[in-house]
Structure 1
Amino acid sequence: MTGTENRCRLMLILPEGNDIAARQTMLEDALRGGDVASVVLPQYGLEDGLFQKHAEALVPVVQKAGAAALIEGDTRVAGRAKADGIHIAGGFDALAEAMEKHSPKLIVGGGNAKDRHGALGMGDLAPDYIFFGKVGGDIKPEAHPKNLALAEWWASMVEVPCVVMGGTDPQSALAVAETGAEFVALCQAVFAEPQNAAQVVATVNALLDEKAPRFED
Structure 2
Amino acid sequence: MTEPEDRCRLVLIVPDDADADRQAKLLAEALSGGDVASVMLPQYDLDDQAFQKRAEVLVSIIQDAGAAAIISGDSRVAGRAKADGLHLAGSLEELGEAIEKFTPKLIVGAGGASERHTALEIGELRPDYIFFGRFDGDIKPEAHPKNVALAEWWASMIEIPCIVMGGSDAESVVVAAESGAEFVALRTAVFAHPEGPAAAVARANALLDEKAPRFED
Question: Shared fold by TM > 0.5?
Answer: yes
Matching residue of 1:93: 93
What is the distance in 2 between the residues matched to 1:22 and 1:176? 29
Give the match's secondary structure for 1:131: strand
Name the aligned partner's letter for residue 196 of structure 1. Answer: G
Q: CA deviation at 1:127?
A: 0.8
Counting only pairs closer than 5 Å after superposition, residues 1-217 of structure 1 correspond to structure 2 as 1-2=1-2, 4-193=4-193, 196-217=196-217
Distance 1:215 1:68 in 2: 21
Task: Give the TM-score normalised by structure 2.
Answer: 0.96
Structure 1 residue 13: Cα displacement: 0.1
Contact 1:92 1:111 in 2 (8 A): no
Q: Contact 2:14 / 2:27 at 8 angstroms: preserved in 1?
A: yes
Tell me the SS of whatever aligns to 2:111. Answer: strand
* Runs of 4+ off more than 4 Å: none
Cα distance in structure 1, aligned partners of 2:94 and 2:29: 33
SS in 1 for 2:112: strand
Distance 1:184 1:14 in 2: 14
Which deviations, in whole Å up to 9, do the C-alpha atoms of 1:19-52 show, x marking residues without a partner? 2211111110000000000000100110000001
3-state SS in 2 of match to 1:40: strand
Change (3 A) 1:25 1:212: same
Q: Deviations over 1:36-76 (max 9, x none)?
A: 00000100110000001000110000000000000013220
Gaps of 5+ in 1: none
Cα distance in 1 between the residues matched to 2:199 and 2:193: 11
Contact kept in structure 2, 1:148 and 1:176, CA below 8 Å: yes
Task: Give 5+ residue unaligned stretches, structure 2.
Answer: none
TM-score under structure 1 normalisation?
0.96
Deviation of the 1:194 alpha carbon: 7.5
> What is the Cα deviation at residue 3 of structure 1?
6.0
Of all paired residues, the percent bearing the same amino acid is 65
Shift of 1:195: 5.8
Deviation for aligned residue 1:88: 1.1
User: What SS is found at the alignment partner of 2:184?
Assistant: strand
Deviation per residue, 1:74-124 (Å, 9 max, x gap): 220000000000111224233222212211110000222111111111111
Q: Against the structure 1 CA distance between its residues 103 and 3, is the aligned structure 2 distance closer, same or farther, given a 3 Å change threshold? A: closer
- Count of residues paired in the alignment: 217
Question: For the aligned residues, what is the CA RMSD?
Answer: 1.3
Per-residue deviation, 1:192:
1.4
Q: In the aligned structure 1, how far is the partner of 2:195 from the partner of 2:214?
A: 31
